[in-house]
Chains A and B, each alone.
Chain A
């Protein structure tokens, strides 16, 4: 095995400005004044029907292999049976006459179906707005060709996997097998093309090794790199590059017996047939917290902390270690969680190192944490997860908490710290998911606004107060009436007197003389009773007359009272009751007496 390191340029960052100038001055001159010229040819120029030939057009002094720089005629002036399809374009720098010159190359696939001689005549294209003549080229298609004959040279793309998940990096090999006409040679300016892929430039590995090809073992140039799909679907991936003879743009490993031609390289643009990669999307329903896009088989090593005893407000470094075999440089560290008691700064990458004794590598992320309270007893758990494409599910890589002791002032001794940390065991967090939906509306409320903030709430709260006030006034009134019973009696007498007056009116209206007399007597007794005080039924005519003023007692009022009582007594006790009809006529006098008695209550 032979390892060559070719064209190793000194690192620019390690040079001083003067050395940089020397390096720049020592580089060959780039010729940009030569007139643009074109060459065109079929490769190979003779094929059988159905075989592929590459129509290759090269322009010198151009550095842009795009439709902007070169405007092709539409359609291409090719014979009708010959269908041309643009499959690759690229540019490179080639030595020409002691200087370097830029070349742009365009590859068109031609796959004639029938024998004949097909000539693409001379035609003109616009290069940067100026006409450039493309010379004629001829392709001969013969039914019979001596075996073996030269086939169109092309690159081969061999992906390590064709069924991957989004974000899952996989190795892709680009091969250029040697042929009897062309020995093993390197490929420069290798490009992997395809929408939805990110190609990593750093882990490129070049080698020349023996590979199976067309039933035999032939040396082949192998260019390996890592490709990461970033979108889901059926994606196509192809490669292109320039043949470079024995010029290799980096270290190369040559295995086995290989003959490399020392002739000047031809710098032919080669391309590959596209391969299809089935890229599956990551499942979203089972995504775990802390997923930052890491796809691969990783594990989380116990984190390291610079010290287990820290003063409040002082930073402490927590190093999280993620182990895996590939793509560790593409892992985004989990964002710092927001937790009470800690101020955490985003992680800083700490580099990738090989794990001793295994094929694993270890990526480290350094978090700076500042405790803002002495109540915390451990660093917070930092949620992190990755998607394992082998297992097809998310893996929890949460960085576990590390016990710490936060002191407000002076530091503890190591012995104290060790004792305290041994007593605090980290408790695994309880994992949970979303619940099932409730099948009933549950507890209801008229509003989410708390009662205290509703306008009617103070009134409702004051209702008992109003009740208690009412009770208090009632009790006070009751106690007052207990000490002044005459007020109650007179009040009761007034109410009873009004009732009797209403009955008196009804009896008078109905012409019920006996009833009228009874009501009159009762009303007189009620109106007089509070003055003694006595039960109304116990009063007799003399008692009522005593209440009247002396002048009225001897006058019409006294006479009327006597008449009513006399008739009532006669109807109650005499053998022949007296007539009562004429008493109704004295109603107005009676009412006047009763009003006066009521006024005296």
Chain B
């Protein structure tokens, strides 16, 4: 009896798996809608479709296309932010890097100023560093402890592998920290965004930031975020800045 129930459950699971594989997800449908609208020149529609798709599941290609649509809509800040997010997920895509270079050259804004460990963190997708750090650490621990626990004679390759894994763990720590600090980098979304002296709307404007200008979040207060930019530090309204790592 129990065996029959298990068989039914397994069959039902396989059926659902096959169905899920054959019918595309809602996010993918909206992605293809967006591509069609983009190729027809309907950039507003395309941008909305890409946003719908991203709401279902963030994807690097969708973010790349959203950036293109936003660029054609004249929203430089949104475009640069989308491409930064695409590079965050998949730094190996050359189109994303080229688009960022082109956009920053055209909009005359600088890329974010990254520290050495933040620059190292851009070599791989953001989450890879965490898995590498965790995996290498526990591999090293396993190579040291498991032979003793399982009463296997310790071999030279055990120690070599442990040393190698521990080295990888040490090397992956700075990029992992860089990922955390990079998550505080935001992109100014609106043109001539005022950089205020104090976190109030009536505050004195220290500088005006162009759309696409990178800014690093230092702290928050109410609807204002204290940021450091290449032009100085000050407060910007929360809605005028978008972060690469959306919460």
Contact = CB atoms under 8 A, between A and B. Distances in A.
Interface string A401-441: 00000000000000000000000000000001111111111
A434 B127 contact: no
A239 to B, nearest CB: 39
A450 B245 contact: yes
Interface string A234-276: 0000000000000000000000000000000000000000000
B126 interface: yes
Contact of B101 (A432, A438, A451): A432
B145 A289 contact: no
Given A441-B31, A450-B130, A453-B180, 19 more contacts: A335-B108, A337-B108, A338-B230, A340-B113, A340-B230, A432-B98, A434-B71, A435-B96, A436-B95, A437-B68, A442-B61, A442-B86, A442-B93, A445-B57, A449-B245, A450-B179, A453-B183, A471-B149, A475-B149
Contacts of B102: 432-434
B142 to A, nearest CB: 7
15 contacts: A289-B105, A338-B108, A434-B71, A437-B64, A437-B65, A443-B61, A445-B89, A447-B58, A448-B126, A448-B245, A449-B245, A449-B247, A450-B180, A468-B138, A468-B145
Interface string B211-246: 000000000000000000010000000000000111
Interface of A: 289, 335, 337-340, 383, 432-453, 457, 460-461, 464-465, 468, 471-472, 474-475
Given A383-B108, A445-B89, A468-B145, A437 B38 contact: yes
A443 B108 contact: no
A457 B130 contact: yes
A439 B35 contact: yes
Nearest to A335: B108
B183 A450 contact: yes
A457 B133 CA distance: 12
B59 A441 contact: yes
B99 A468 contact: no
Interface residues of B, number: 58
B138 A464 contact: yes
A430 to B, nearest CB: 8
A289 B58 contact: no
A419 B28 CA distance: 59
A453 B247 CA distance: 10
B98 A442 contact: no
Contacts of B244: 448
A260 B113 CA distance: 73
Contacts of B90: 442-443
B92 to A, nearest CB: 9
B145 A452 contact: no
Contacts of A340: 110, 113, 230
